[in-house]
Amino acid sequence: MSLYRSHRARSQSSPLSTQPKYAAQGATHRRTEEAILSATKDLIAQSGASKISMIDISAHSQVARATLYNHFRDKSAVIEALLAFEVARIIEGSKLAGTPADALESISIAISSDGALAGLRQNDPALIAQLLIHSEHPLYLELARTMYALTQSQSATGLAMRWLLGQVAQPLTPEQSRDQAALLVESTLF
């Protein structure tokens, strides 16, 4: 069989042969980023953000440093990606809730029970303060849009955002989250 026929036979037998390869690469890319973000969250929960390094993240995620740097330019980029992931996760959880009170309770519990936020409160209070004052940050605005979708009111959105941001510094128990979410909904007449 000639070289031309051999190549032609292979190309005809699998015309989309590159599709699975790229799908597998995309899945590997996502798994690697998930491992990096999960490890970063664990490290922040243990010792705060200021005490970890890219070497720590690489070791804890079991991802080679070169691979880590292929995904993120520095520790700030990893932390920014982790924040974006966590805000998206919290928003998605709130969308699954039935009522506005259920959604607020879901968000409240997610914020109050987050281990990485606990690590930041204990080890990096100045970083927490910086995070809380950036009301022009895209992640803050995304959370505010979610609150507005729940409340349909600018004043209720502002109140809900202050309530949630307060929990970053002073977390609530699940019972307090439920009670305060219901009270917030009742008092603002969502």
DSSP string, the chain: --HHHHHHHHHHH-TTTHHHHHHHHHHHHHHHHHHHHHHHHHHHHHH-STT--HHHHHHHHT--HHHHHHH-SSHHHHHHHHHHHHHHHHHHHHHTSSSHHHHHHHHHHHHHT-HHHHHHHHH-HHHHHHHHT-TTSHHHHHHHHHHHHHH--HHHHHHHHHHHHHHHHS---HHHHHHHHHHHHHHHT-
**pLDDT computed for residue 17 by the predictor:** 47
User: Which pLDDT band holds residue 21 (cuts at 50, 70, 90)?
Assistant: low
Give the pLDDT confidence score for residue 127 in this predicted structure: 86
* More confident site: 13 or 35: 35
Percent of the chain with pLDDT over 90: 67
> Residues 139-154: what's their mean pLDDT?
91
Terminal C-alpha separation, the chain: 75
Confidence of residue 129 (pLDDT cuts 50, 70, 90): confident
Summarised one tens digit per residue, pLDDT across range 29-46 is 789 999 999 999 999 999
pLDDT above 70 covers a percentage of the chain that reads 86
Residues 36 and 62: beta-carbon distance below 8 Å: no
**Residue-level pLDDT at 132:** 81
**Whole-number mean pLDDT of the chain?**
87
More confident: 11 or 61: 61
Q: In the structure, what pLDDT confidence band is assigned to residue 56 with cuts at 50, 70 and 90? A: very high
pLDDT for the residue 18: 52
Mean pLDDT in residue range 68-83: 95
Task: Give the separation between CA 185 and CA 64, rounded to whole angstroms.
Answer: 48
- How far from the centroid of its chain's Cα atoms is residue 186's Cα? 29
Q: What is the C-alpha to C-alpha distance for residues 100 and 79, in angstroms, rounded to an integer? A: 29
pLDDT of residue 119: 95
Q: What is the pLDDT of residues 99-126, one digit of tens each?
A: 999 999 999 999 999 999 999 999 999 8
Domain 17-188: assigned CATH number: 1.10.357.10
At 8 the pLDDT is 44
Taking the domains of the chain in order of start, what are their residue ranges?
Answer: 17-188
